[in-house]
Amino acid sequence: MRVHVADHPLITHKLTVLRDKNTPSPVFRALTEELVTLLAYEATRAVRVEPRQIETPVTTTTGVAISKPKPLVVPILRAGLGMLEGMVKLMPTAEVGFLGMVRDEETLQPTTYAERLPDDLSDRQCFVLDPMLATGGSLGTAIDFLFKRGAVDVTAICILGAPEGIAAVEKLVDGRDVTLVLGALDERLNENGYIVPGLGDAGDRLYGTV
């Protein structure tokens, strides 16, 4: 498994505002979108392309186009939805599938409550969006699900990750082709399974408390 942690002053600056508990939801949503677009640039580095011949006003030349089957972007509801616009801005021709997951805040175990994905993901490159990689239960389950459907490789974009979550996902993916792209690698989890220093509950900060 490859792990890429962003190292760019603009990303760190935006993350600092995102972490601030006084940042209101509209600003939090806008920053999440901007951060994802920046992280998506790195995350799509290995997107498959094929040669494409075009005519410029001057001559004929060969460029590239994104290969078929199209990449599949999979936001994990609810908080991953806040990352979708930022991702499709960079890769507008990608298709989008959805996974709804919620973590039990007592046991920290994830449950999948919704799934809207193609039945067959053979030969697909998948991009999973989930802002928080905490224990790794949610992301690990999502990645495993995509491989069982036939995905060839999975890249996950997370705004923040904890070392415990990375270790858990690594154990679960067991040598399969997975890349994690993180906005920052935080210190640890606290006793409630929250990322420290973190940003709190990403879903609540995007959409309010349910």
Among residues 134 and 168, whose Cβ is nearest to ligand URA?
134
Q: In the chain, how many H helices and how many E strands?
A: 6, 13
161 bridge partner residues = 133, 185
164 lies in the binding site for ligand URA (CB under 6 A):
no
Dihedral sign for Cα atoms in the order 23, 29, 32, 33 = negative
Please state the closest distance from residue 114 (CB atom) to ligand URA, in A.
18
Please say whether the beta carbons of 164 and 132 come within 8 A: no
Please say whether the beta carbons of 132 and 160 come within 8 A: yes
Please indicate whether residue 103 is annotated as part of the active site. yes
83 lies in the binding site for ligand URA (CB under 6 A):
no
Q: How far from 131 is each of 49, 54, 180, CA to CA, in Å?
A: 27, 38, 12
**Among 78, 103, 112, 176, which one carries the catalytic annotation?**
103
88 lies in the binding site for ligand URA (CB under 6 A):
no
50/174 Cα distance (integer angstroms) = 30
Instruction: Pick the stretch among 13-21, 115-123, 176-184, 200-208 that binds ligand URA (CB under 6 A).
Output: 200-208
Binding mask 111-150 for ligand URA (x = CB under 6 A): ---------------------x-x----------------
Please state the closest distance from residue 66 (CB atom) to ligand URA, in A.
31
Among residues 46 and 107, whose Cβ is nearest to ligand PRP?
107
107/98 Cα distance (integer angstroms) = 24
The alpha helices in 101-195, defined as continuous H runs, are 137-148, 163-173
Please state the closest distance from residue 175 (CB atom) to ligand PRP, in A.
21
Residues 6 or more apart from 45 whose CB is under 8 A from it?
none
Q: Which residues bind ligand PRP (CB under 6 A)?
A: 76, 78-79, 101-103, 108, 110, 130-139, 165, 193, 201-203
Residue 134's Cα: distance from chain center in Å?
13
Question: Taking CB positions, which residue lies at the least distance from ligand PRP?
Answer: 203
76 lies in the binding site for ligand URA (CB under 6 A):
no
Please indicate whether residue 107 is annotated as part of the active site. yes
Chain positions contacting ligand URA, by CB under 6 A: 132, 134, 194-195, 198, 201-203
Residues with catalytic annotation? 103, 107, 201, 204
